[in-house]
Chains A and B, each alone.
Chain A
């Protein structure tokens, strides 16, 4: 189906199903259950997972395949957001023109930054991209204030021309009149599920982004990108110029970042320079490595994990912890709460840091490798007699139809 072989088609259908059923999957607990605060199935978080999933999938095309580590992808995210908000202001609050311009503008910026940065490789490339993004961030605060509105950020105002919108048009980003903030609720017993237009809009793009990434992974172009990572010297002496391949990968990943930025603006029509800060560029690096760089599913898993931790762990403050541990004697309760509160609430980043360190140290292939190890362990437990067959699968794993870099 769609140019995929049977295995990939199944894989893709599973991804689509997971995406469509996210409002259920991320909402496993009932409203009155004490675990209700671990529910992540609200539109804002789900859309963030989809958006950062897109960001990380694109980043993975550059970093996972070619091995070029960019710390400057936040610049493309920011440009995507600004471009989208300008479309809202000038043309219409319909999200399609906004998203299209976001992708185009970030692609152009990626072409420029990539053309300059790709003169170097390794750490020098990383530093160049970091410098470029930092420059974009500073420019947004200084000379570019007419375009970016400086520290206030770019917003949609009632006085904006919006030449394509008629007098009765919606005042919120919409899909041909259907507002993205619109939600439907479904109550089943104690459970409450929310279906949000904005989430499904982002999810549709995430599915498209995943599909394109899957095709690139399986294409001769993707093979060339992996060749760049494996041995540039041999590539040169095989009659291939690595430069346009890396530049193409850079621009594609920049466009993915721009799409993510555009979708962020669509969910919340506001663009600020803080989206271009280097911490955002670092976040996508962490997402990709945490999930598993060079794998198809890894970046999405990484993005989901981090956004979930960020939104759920940060809500567990000391009061919540005291509630949980009220059964302990007072002194002990205070001690336990004191320790745990370093890792939750505002300290959630510490948890993330620990998880990241553990993954990098013990699972260099990220969460995907963790999943594979567990699956292998279960298979071995399942039938000792299949030992030989398991070994056979190992080798089948590295056949060109299922490259090791892809699951």
Chain B
């Protein structure tokens, strides 16, 4: 049994059958990549996992519990964190405040009326936030305005915000989209380090095969809403069905 079990999930938008009988099992402590050409249903699948979309049929079990019908914040509290294609951070706040928010969410749950406490006296929270910022090499930028960060730093910050919650599963939606090769490589290193140090299960949706083959231990290939193959990277590379699905659009 995997930590994440997707069974017979179907999702249609009007006449478009975006997900057809999707079955997916993600084993604990693996990096599992989902690849496929544009329109294969990768993002739809991700949105089902985080509670943004509710599938027409099928079940999604995480850690033995169903995620279906739960709100995104409830699913997050179950231990699923998500990194977006374009980094979603609190642009108006400082880097440290950005990381403090998930710290409070981790400690206090979905809502707490802590109106008469003081942020700067929450030593444990601040320490926790500063530690994660050091882990992603952003400690020197802790007082910077988040909106003013470079794209790569925003990505790191978002990653730190997810990690500080100690998630069991980290979902990454094209974490290197729009990055230069050097930044891509540093993101790969960061993800590798996170995986090794923290033993977090990761599901990555990615176009860049370089990223996929550098990180993934299992790969699922999605085409037209259905998983066509699930295997190790070595076997995927030589699989003719995968080549066919991509029609040479990627340097496999």
Partners in one complex: yes
**A contact set with B: CB distance below 8 Å:** 3, 5, 215-216, 218-224, 226-227, 229-231, 233-241, 244-245, 248, 395-396, 398-401, 403-405
Q: Are A248 and B113 in contact (CB under 8 A)?
A: yes
6 pairs, CB–CB < 8 Å, chain A vs chain B: A219-B116, A224-B101, A230-B93, A237-B72, A239-B109, A395-B144
Q: Are B145 and A404 in contact (CB under 8 A)?
A: yes
Q: Which residues from B are CB-within-8-Å of A236?
A: 71-73, 76
Q: Are A395 and B143 in contact (CB under 8 A)?
A: yes
Q: Are A240 and B101 in contact (CB under 8 A)?
A: yes
CB within 8 Å for A239 and B93 given contacts A219-B117, A220-B104, A398-B145: no
CB contact list, B77-131 vs A, under 8 A: 77, 81-82, 84, 88-94, 96-97, 100-102, 104-106, 108-120, 122, 125-126
Q: Are B144 and A238 in contact (CB under 8 A)?
A: no
For the complex of A and B, the 8 pairs showing the least CB-CB separation, nearest first, are A239-B76, A230-B90, A221-B115, A230-B92, A244-B111, A234-B88, A241-B110, A239-B77
Q: With contacts A220-B114, A224-B104, A244-B110 known, what are 11 further pairs, Cβ within 8 A?
A: A5-B120, A215-B118, A218-B120, A220-B108, A224-B101, A227-B93, A231-B90, A231-B91, A236-B71, A398-B144, A400-B96
Q: Is B48 an interface residue (CB 8 A)?
A: no
- Which of B50, B72, B84, B94 contacts A400, CB < 8 Å? B94
Q: Is B165 an interface residue (CB 8 A)?
A: yes
Cα of A405 to Cα of B145 in the assembled complex, Å: 12
Most buried by B among A236, A238, A241: A238
Q: Which residues from B are CB-within-8-Å of A230?
A: 90-93
Q: Are A400 and B119 in contact (CB under 8 A)?
A: yes
Q: Are A400 and B120 in contact (CB under 8 A)?
A: yes
Q: Which residues from A are CB-within-8-Å of B120?
A: 5, 218, 400-401
Q: Which residues from B are CB-within-8-Å of A226?
A: 90, 92-93, 97
Cα of A231 to Cα of B92 in the assembled complex, Å: 9
Cα of A218 to Cα of B81 in the assembled complex, Å: 27
Q: Are B119 and A223 in contact (CB under 8 A)?
A: yes
Q: Is B161 an interface residue (CB 8 A)?
A: yes
Q: Which residues from A are CB-within-8-Å of B109?
A: 239
Q: Which residues from B are CB-within-8-Å of A235?
A: 73, 101
Cα of A220 to Cα of B97 in the assembled complex, Å: 10
